[in-house]
Amino acid sequence: MLYLQQKLMLESGIAISVSDEEEFETLVEVMSAKAKEDRPVTPREALRRLRGK
């Protein structure tokens, strides 16, 4: 947990007091979230993107 708090503080500017109030699972989920374009897509969506539609 301390390492996660360190990363939150250094990379995101989130205060330790804020991270202490949150659930650990929620913090991990938030920190591992990916941008929409970096998320996996379905084969149908990949084909649609390739066709440019």
Q: Which tens digit of pLDDT belongs to each residue from 3-49?
A: 777 777 777 777 766 656 667 777 777 777 788 778 888 999 889 98
Give CA–CA dist 10/41, Å, rounded: 31
Per DSSP, 32 falls in state T
- Burial class, 5, CB count within 10 angstroms (exposed 0-12 / middle 13-18 / buried 19+): middle
Is the pTM higher than 0.75? The answer reads: no
Q: Where does the pLDDT of residue 52 fall: very low under 50, low under 70, confident under 90, or very high at 90 and above?
A: confident
Inter-residue contact 9 to 32 (CB < 8 Å): no
